Amino acid sequence: MIMKIKKTSGWLAFTIVIALVVLVCSGFSTNKSHGEQGQQDKLLLSPPIEPTFVKDKKYQRLNKKNIDAFIQDWKEWSLELRTFSTDSVVNQAINRIMSECSDKDIPDNSIFYSMPCCIEISRYQGSFPPIDVNDEYAFFVEMRQALERFAYVPGFDSDKVILYMTPEIEKLLSQYLGGIRRFGSNVNRINKGRAAYLSRFFYVHYGHWGGYWILHSMPKIIFLSLYDDGICAYLRTSWCTGESVFVPYDTAKELIHFDYWIE
């Protein structure tokens, strides 16, 4: 937060600084654009059941001999984790998001969907504030304090099995693919054959900034905000774009798209 303070006495300036520190420490927060919220604390997004298979010695480093077994173990754990996705209202909204917010020009022929193992959900009192949909950069600003915040396993209706991504799984897969930034600007070699093989199973795209991989199906839900009249979702829609969308609980009403961005 940047504030301009007029020239004043040293004592008054000191008092203002102390007041600002107290204000920040007491939990004052402002929302950032593109769905990044300023929060007093960071919510722990750990799954209700841990992927213990990633700690198996045979998966310390993925290779062509163990990658298929790894994906199978990942699938079995994901199927078990999916049983924790039980909120029908939230999942109905995710259904609409995955159906109506996907980029039809980028076909996804992979066997599975890949999603974050947990997403943050904030619940607010009252209706969703009005948005100027004619303003392409109508960044959503919400100053109300959330009634509650919690981690949720996302789910939606699909013929494909959902593979749930964790930081540990993502790290193993990224090391398997190569192209990772290690020291300074040094990036090791990408294994294109492995990238082509994994893309059969789930979305694989090399990050355009270099040194990392995007391994989530699109759209990727960053987090959700729940209101009395619907759910606001903050999304990445491709490797370089994103938006926010309001999903009314009334399924007869259309989605409201806003806050488009591009990297």
Q: DSSP of 114-156, one letter per residue?
A: EEES-EEEEE-SSPPPP--TT-TT------SPPSEEEEE----
Q: Mean pLDDT across the chain, nearest whole number?
A: 82
Q: Which of 18-22, 53-57, 103-107, 204-208 has the lowest mean pLDDT?
A: 18-22
The per-residue pLDDT for range 151-180, each reduced to its tens digit, is 999 999 999 999 999 999 999 999 999 998
d(C-alpha 238, C-alpha 232), whole Å? 19
Residue 244 inside a domain? The answer is yes
Residue 88 inside a domain? The answer is yes
Could you list the residue range(s) of the whole structural domain that residue 168 is in? 31-262
Residue 96 inside a domain? The answer is yes
The per-residue pLDDT for range 118-152, each reduced to its tens digit, is 999 999 999 998 877 677 666 666 667 899 999 99
pLDDT at 20: 33
Residue 44 inside a domain? The answer is yes
**Are the CB atoms for 235 and 221 separated by under 8 Å?**
yes
Residue 203 inside a domain? The answer is yes
pLDDT at 138: 67
User: Which tokens belong to 37?
Assistant: 């919220």
pLDDT at 65: 96
d(C-alpha 117, C-alpha 166), whole Å? 6
Number of domains making up the chain? 1
Residue 25 inside a domain? The answer is no
Residue 243 inside a domain? The answer is yes
The per-residue pLDDT for range 235-259, each reduced to its tens digit, is 999 888 999 999 999 999 999 998 8
Confidence class of residue 38 from pLDDT cuts 50, 70 and 90? Answer: very low
Confidence class of residue 12 from pLDDT cuts 50, 70 and 90? Answer: very low
Residue whose token pair is 């163990």: 66
Residue 21 inside a domain? The answer is no
